[in-house]
Amino acid sequence: MRVLGVDPGLTRCGVGVVEGVAGRPLTMIGVGVVRTPADAELAQRLLAVETGIERWLDEHRPEFVAVERVFSQHNVRTVMGTAQASAVAMLCAARRGIPVALHTPSEVKAAVTGSGRADKAQVGAMVTRLLRLSAPPKPADAADALALAICHIWRAPAQNRLQQAVALHTAHATKGRTA
């Protein structure tokens, strides 16, 4: 499974591609940051994020895109920019028919470090260890994007089984009502 992780942001949008399956060693395919100038118009910044994500999708051809779920922050301006960058990433994936999964920051931290309250240094250290890298990816947005991809690879099998069970239950329940 090849996953593009996206840590959305307007100034720095972390991107990272990881390949592998749960229970086996994972491989980092690529990591980076899509940057936009803080003084540019919002529309131009969103266009730059789209161009950057499209480039990553073209180059790495992921099967899934994992995006950090935007959560409420005290700074409304920051959360709006994050939400807008997140929407651009989801749009780029949807345009290509690539499934998108949203993961909360605490879910990602728990998957990678074992603690939903881990700090950025702990996440970077575990990403480095799990992907057998020589040093933590910089900036932290890049490490967070890899952590999102790792989280998705590890959690997708269980989520898929759950979705299949719900679909099967719904099909049986619907069949029982129409009979």
Which of 13, 145, 7, 118 lies closest to 69, judged by CA? 7
Average pLDDT along the chain: 92
Write out the two tokens for 27: 């491989």
Known catalytic residue at 68: yes
Looking at 41, 54, 58, 68, which residue is catalytic? 68
Known catalytic residue at 19: no
pLDDT, tens digit, 9 for 90 and up, residues 120-158: 999 999 999 999 999 999 999 999 999 999 999 998 866
Known catalytic residue at 58: no
Q: State yes or no: pLDDT of 113 exceeds 70.
A: yes
Looking at 50, 107, 119, 141, which residue is catalytic? 141
Q: What's the predicted TM-score (pTM) here?
A: 0.88
Looking at 7, 58, 59, 119, which residue is catalytic? 7
Query: Is 7 annotated among the ligand-binding residues?
Result: yes
Burial of 34 (0-12, 13-18, 19+ CB in 10 A): buried
Query: Is 68 annotated among the ligand-binding residues?
Result: yes
pLDDT, tens digit, 9 for 90 and up, residues 8-46: 999 999 999 999 999 999 999 999 999 999 999 999 999
Structural domains for the chain: 2-178 (3.30.420.10)
